[in-house]
Amino acid sequence: DAKTTQPNSMESNEEEPVHLPCNHSTISGTDYIHWYRQLPSQGPEYVIHGLTSNVNNRMASLAIAEDRKSSTLILHRATLRDAAVYYCILRDVPGTYKYIFGTGTRLKVLA
Amino acid sequence: EAGVAQSPRYKIIEKRQSVAFWCNPISGHATLYWYQQILGQGPKLLIQFQNNGVVDDSQLPKDRFSAERLKGVDSTLKIQPAKLEDSAVYLCASSLMRALNYNSPLHFGNGTRLTVT
């Protein structure tokens, strides 16, 4: 199974950059790396995804290691509204499109 | 566009009772998922539909849980009879395509919080 490992929690000061790491040493060559976040009392929401190259969108940036065994979600300027649980996920079994959420990283943003 | 709608938002039942959750996905989304999220854990996939057919239900406790997606649109998830350990948030998600690899993100509803006493 393709699985991910993330720290349980991280803290950041408001308006500072945040780097959320994810290890996925068993990733297959065709797995996309996806990030979702879950705000309190809400369902998870899509943040960003990538395959090999670094990706940017209005919410965040995704930096993918050259060997694809790890990735980092970058929030350029954390705000209090970014306090959430961040999940890094991959497909479970290539071809079935099932994928597994881990326990994620709980990000605390300090004012 | 309207998001994924789920109801009810909250439900409290006694053990051994039955309960049903309803989900209306985003219009045009062929794939629908039900997840169970126990407090402090990540969402766990229960069942995945592609249109009105089941793609994966390997994690669904079939002795008590059932789900259907009639006409490939709305879906219901039922628990009968409920156990204390079924207390969780039940999340519905939909996507345009079956595979995340086709750059189609999941869209989640806000879930139904079930408490079994």
Q: Which of B41, B45, B100 sits opposite A34 (nearest CB)?
A: B100
Confidence band (pLDDT; 50, 70, 90) for A86?
very high
The verdict on a CB contact (< 8 Å) between A91 and B101 is: yes
Q: Which residue of A has its CA nearest to B95?
A: A46
SS (H, E, C) chain A: CCCCECCCEEEEECCCCEEEEEECCCCCCCCCEEEEEECCCCCCEEEEEECCCCEECCCCEEEECCCCCEEEEEECCCCHHHCEEEEEECECCCCCCCECCCCCEEEEEEC
- Asked if residue B102 has pLDDT above 80, the reply is no
Taking 90 as the threshold, does the pLDDT of residue A15 lie above it?
yes
What pLDDT score was predicted for residue A84?
A: 97
Residue pair A4/A32 in contact (Cβ under 8 Å)? The answer is no
Q: Which of A32, A91, A103 sits opposite B42 (nearest CB)?
A: A103
Query: CB under 8 Å to A56, separation ≥6 — which residues?
Result: A62
| Best CA proximity match to A72, nearest among A47, A40, A101, A91 | A47
Span A40-45, average pLDDT: 94
